[in-house]
Structure 1
């Protein structure tokens, strides 16, 4: 599976869970990439486990080899990992783990919730998710390399997007109003070369709209100016 295909496959579920739990989607995706080796790990292939979460999942568990760190020393061992029926279940369980923590410490991963991606990557390590001392930087590198932070923006309720949408609506209104004004002035013989104005309106509706009122009043003054 190609890298962008992998990201596209899991991003919708990561974003949906972010809206419910405030777990940054960028963190979810980056962890899935790192833990599953882009969906190619034996744990992912055999158990749909994208995140290396241990224990019993919705479809039981599997024993798999794993690498743990004692300080900075890697140790090869075996552990029981959760098994799922689908990747979507794995993603939902990952978010639930971060949100609910563990029995001994329910707030273990709460530093992740609603955090920017760099803070989230550090806090997930501090919470004890991984023993690799380089874990946070590995996640940050993935997020920045593949621009995963773009998924942390909630497109359904984001002020930047709303502003863009408002600007687009205003621009459409300006074009429509401009066309009416140009046609009106042209019909009254107050505007030369209306096609040229319409072309300008397409490229710069706000600029044309700022000129038309001035042009209208100028032309009207000329028409109503008493004969000498």
Structure 2
């Protein structure tokens, strides 16, 4: 999966949660990139956990090594991380954690809600999400490099910015074309030219199918490759 395909796959859920919770989509996507290494981390592979959230998830938990910073120095330790049935559940749980905080401090991450991306990146660190002192800047660098702020809310009317929506569609269309070529080469998709023409003629209807069709087939292609 390419970087643009990864962004296109998780952006709709990030934008949808943003409209409900006011957690900036740019923050959600950047954290998913950083914490999961573009969906390729061992934790993501074993537990569908995109954000390194600890504890018990909808599918239980898994024990994994992790790096923590104590006194500014990194140390490696084991911890239990939440396990999910899907990436969508991981994204929803991430939004819920930011919105609801923790039992001891429900407002722990409230500085993130409705904030601009630079403030959100600092406030998520201040709330205790990560111990890495460079965490905010790492997130900001990802957001600016991949223009993830385009997915954030237009605060004037609490709706998704039109340019962000167009950017999302462009990313998804390009990811879809790349996926169609890849699947056709592997013999996993019939009549690729018809799918490509549908993307050009009626992208909206096809993009609505992409999360369920193209990316499902991509997952199957990945599974098939791993079984070889």
TM-score, length-scaled by structure 1: 0.68
Tell which has more relative contact order, 1 or 2 (C-alpha 8 A, sep 6+).
2
Residues 1:134 and 2:144 aligned together = no
Q: 1:42 to 1:159 in 2, by over 3 A?
A: closer
The separation in 1 between residues aligned to 2:55 and 2:114, in whole angstroms, is 26
Distance in 2 between the 1:85 and 1:76 partners? 27
1:112 equivalenced with 2:115 (yes/no): no
Task: Please report how far the alpha carbon of residue 71 of structure 1 lies from its aligned counterpart in structure 2 after TM superposition.
Answer: 2.3
C-alpha deviation, 1:157, in angstroms: 5.7
Superposed CA offset, 1:173-193 (max 9, x none):
xxxxxxxxxxxxxxxxxxxxx
Which of the pair has more CA radius of gyration?
A: 1
- What do the CA deviations read for 1:34-71 (whole angstroms, capped 9, x no partner)? 00000000000000000000000000000000000012
> Offset of 1:123 from its aligned partner?
0.1
Task: State the match for 1:76 in structure 2.
Answer: 76
User: C-alpha displacement at 1:87, in angstroms?
Assistant: 0.1
Measured in 2, the distance between the counterparts of 1:61 and 1:154 equals 37
Structure 1 residues not aligned, in runs of 5+: 163-228
| Structure 2 CA distance for partners of 1:158 and 1:93, relative to 1, 3 Å | closer
Q: Are positions 1:14 and 2:17 aligned together?
A: no
Q: 1:161 to 1:14 in 2, by over 3 A?
A: closer
2:90 aligned residue:
90
The within-5 A match list for 1:208-223 is: none
Q: Deviations over 1:1-32 (max 9, x none)?
A: 10000000000000000000000000000000
Runs in 1 of length 4+ with deviation above 4 angstroms?
154-162
* Residue 92 to residue 159, structure 1, CA distance change in 2 (3 Å): closer
Aligned pairs for 1:138-153 (under 5 A) are: 138-153=138-153
Decide whether aligned partners of structure 1 residues 127 and 160 sit closer, same or farther in structure 2, where only a CA change above 3 A counts: closer
1:23 paired with 2:20, answer no
Against the structure 1 CA distance between its residues 3 and 63, is the aligned structure 2 distance closer, same or farther, given a 3 Å change threshold?
Answer: same
Structure 1 residue 99 and structure 2 residue 99: aligned? yes
* Greater alpha carbon shift after TM alignment, 153-162 vs 15-24: 153-162
Structure 2 unaligned regions, length at least 5:
164-228
Q: Distance in 2 between matches of 1:29 and 1:112?
A: 14
Post-superposition shift, 1:158? 4.3
| Counterpart in the other structure of 2:58 | 58
- TM-score of the superposed pair, with normalisation by structure 2: 0.68
Q: Deviations over 1:152-204 (max 9, x none)?
A: 03599649759xxxxxxxxxxxxxxxxxxxxxxxxxxxxxxxxxxxxxxxxxx
Q: Distance in 1 between matches of 2:159 and 2:47?
A: 36
Q: Give the total of aligned pairs.
A: 162
Please give the secondary structure, in 1, of the residue aligned with 2:67: strand
Question: Residue 72 of structure 1: CA displacement?
Answer: 1.5
SS, match of residue 149 in structure 2: helix
Mark the CA change 1:61 to 1:74 in structure 2 (over 3 Å): closer, same or farther: same
